[in-house]
Structure 1
Amino acid sequence: MGFFIEVEDGVRYYVEDINPKGNKTILFLHGWPGSHKLFEYQFDHLPSMGYRCIGIDTRGFGNSDKPFCCYDYDTLADDVRYIIEKMSLYNITLLGHSTGGAIACRYMGRHHGYGISKLVLCAAAAPSLIKRPRFPYGIDKVVVDQIIENTYKDRPQMLRGFGDRFFFQHTSQAFSDWFFQIGLQAAGWATAFIAMTWINEVLFTDLESVQIPTLIIHGIQDQVVPFELSEIQNKMIKNSILIPFELSGHGSFYDQKDHFNKVLSNFIEGLDCA
């Protein structure tokens, strides 16, 4: 069922709570420029396995309110904390994809993992999506600058181009159109402001603060967040395991959805993920 939760500054977050009576809870944080709908193929199957799946739309995206401010990682992590408290969630798995993974990392550092027992990072944009002095990994800043410029110039065309690089496996035209429409749901300013966080934010300290069991899933063919960042995450988080998805791009939750769901459930149940 879907409903809204008003966070501290009055912004209403859209929340989808699937199988509320499930035995174990997974809170999903989507990536840019999507919404909770990106996890459709997890929501189709994981609840039948006994999981409670909660998807939220980040402010500015999906069905959530779209204010013209406050898209920094601190605010977005605080929003997650407020929702967790409001829903009385505890001992849950926090799963973040791409920018959602970055927000999950900031949540762990800023809120000391409140309510979280396991962490899953999927193609996470951490510790820095762009290359920096003394950090020669990730993508060039000019790539992000171009995304921001194109967002303000012709956002639909920018989204089309981004969608073409998102998945590694073949998708139908209908699926491509569906993905495109999810991106269009976002506000243009929110789309640009979140892209700016990739330049302004770093998560080195946040990653080092993670103490709980962590699963890292990353597609080897990822053209959005380079696979090498997952290897760095694996080194920085002591209690972590990295599972490379050989036939996946940035969207492993669809490229290899059955394998993704199996690895995720095995991790939550304490079984072998390899």
Structure 2
Amino acid sequence: MNGSLLDASALTGRRSRRAATRRRTGLCILASVAVFSLFGPAVIGIDPARQTLADTLLPPGAAHWLGTDVLGRSVLARLAHAARLSLGLALLAAVTAAIPGVLLGVVASWRGGRIERGLVMLADAVLSVPGLLLVLLFAALAPGRYWALYIGLSLSLWVEYFRVARAASRPVLAGDAVQASRLLGFGPGYVLRRHLLPALAPVLGTLLAFSAAQAVLALAALGFIGVGLQPPTPELGLMMIECLPHYEEAPWLIAAPMALLMLLVLGMMLLVSEGEPA
């Protein structure tokens, strides 16, 4: 019996260490991309829109570490600006979606009744439209506009926060600690700050990383099919579709944005990974 307990404890410890290692790896990847996006443009010092037709499709070298595209633009400079755009817009959309989603989820669970039914119906109505299609509709209203993509992403992401916050806050509100706080006369702000938010924080942190990864992929997908941001804006999806016709003669062109996109999504997914099942 004691041996089984020790084995289970050791297995749990190994799973926790593996999960912690994955999260640290994800944080390191995202931190590296964030540093590259924030300081890369200033360090590189090259205008990502500057065209030098004499330097078309140069291979990686000392002057241009990742070579140049068909218009002679520095791939490294464009990649740094694209990383800033994708990471910044995705995080902004995810945080913007999280605030109303969490608040509405808590309100629905707290109040119940008609308010909860109305909010659930609203969430189901939004959920009935595929998220990428919703972003596409806003992008069609204002082609190439940052605010259209931002609003579309935020509207497509808030439903998940609403559903998770509503489900996770229900047992907390029904718990003895919240009931005791209410009997002692503490108001909703105290309950939210001392009981609900600490209970919701772990799952919401996981959901934030997951939704940011969704936003990054959505931006790249829209740029790749030509309905998101428009040239000459440096964006990962746009860079891939611009470099695709030249993949045979200059494969490094399409490899660079694909690798950065993979690193962004991988870093965010490692943050939400858990230990292996027993």
TM-score band w.r.t. shorter chain: under 0.3
Tell me the TM-score normalised to structure 1 length.
0.24
Structure number with larger C-alpha Rg = 2
